[in-house]
Amino acid sequence: MPDENGFIDPYLIRGNNVLVNLVNAQTQEELLYAECLLVTYSSAQLRGEHLEADGTISQLCSIHHALFQEVYPWAGKFRTVDISKGGQTFLPVAFLETGSRYVESILRQDNMLKDMDRETFIKRLSVNYDNLNNLHPFREDNGRAQRIFWELIAHDAGWHFDWGLVTKSFNDQASITAMRDDNLTLLIQMFDTIVKPLDEPLVAGPNPKALSNGEYVPTQTIGIMLDPAEYPSLFERYAGKNAKS
């Protein structure tokens, strides 16, 4: 159904808020269950391939496609609608190509985060992680693709992530705070918790843990129609963040 502005999200099944999918799921619960089964297997398979990082958005697209190709017909493809999550608007579609080039250029300037001591690696990783998170190029499931993307970067730089030492809610809050407030403190804190040298074993696993008391509730990404009048302020906001990278 159209939203209050008359916008119809083409990614949703007509008549409900479930994403168009390849598993015939008609409810959010059915979709999440199928996702969990299929993507858990795809993630393990992808991590087992030991890919070499190239630091490109093209590689991120390939990762997203590998993870979600059995779930979504648009897996690995740039979104065609503007999106928001938790009240935060991600980079508008009109800026995705420019934003992608910027993300890649900063990562190249940082030499793919290689040859850094741990403190510098964590600080520059936080900057680059925030840059990519602002991009959010896919309609849904950006986070899981991004985590594998950064795992490849980290591995080639001599590090790996013990993701299970942080909760999903802390991961979300760190990302939101960086994006909303231009404050990387929580991201730096998160990575300081999970970044380990490759010769130090992981103890908690490859995925952020959900809270055992059921407190964590995932926030759904929604498609939106931005007013063109909003573009200048959004462009200024992202340009300001980029200038500090």
Report the alpha-carbon angle 231-234-239, nearest 5: 120
**pLDDT for residue 213:** 41
φ, ψ of residue 50 in degrees (nearest 5): 50, 55
Residue 33 covered by a domain: no
Q: Span 18-47, mean pLDDT?
A: 94
* Residue 15 domain flag: no
Under 8 Å between Cβ of 95 and 235: yes
* pLDDT score, position 7: 82
Considering the domain boundaries, does residue 24 fall inside one? Answer: no
Domain of residue 220, residue span: 79-243
pLDDT at 219: 65
CATH code, domain carrying 206:
1.10.3290.10
In a domain, 50, yes or no: no
Coil, helix or strand for 38? helix
Residue 237 has pLDDT above 70, yes or no: no
Per-residue model confidence as pLDDT tens digits over 168-225: 999 999 999 999 999 999 999 999 999 999 999 999 877 776 544 444 445 667 777 6
pLDDT digits 0-9 by tens, 64-104: 999 999 999 999 999 999 999 888 899 999 999 999 999 99
Rounded Cα gap, residues 131 and 17, in angstroms? 29
Average model confidence (pLDDT) across the chain: 89
Closest Cα partner for 75 from 15, 151, 139, 171?
Answer: 139
User: Does residue 208 lie within any of the structural domains?
Assistant: yes
CA 38 to CA 48: how far, in whole Å? 16
Classify residue 8: in a domain, yes or no: no
In whole angstroms, what is the distance from residue 170 CA to residue 239 CA? Answer: 26
Pair 145, 60: CB distance under 8 Å: yes
Domains of the chain: total: 1
- Confirm whether 48 is domain-assigned: no
Share of residues in the chain with pLDDT > 90 (%): 76
Structure-model confidence comparison of residues 88 and 18, the more confident one: 18
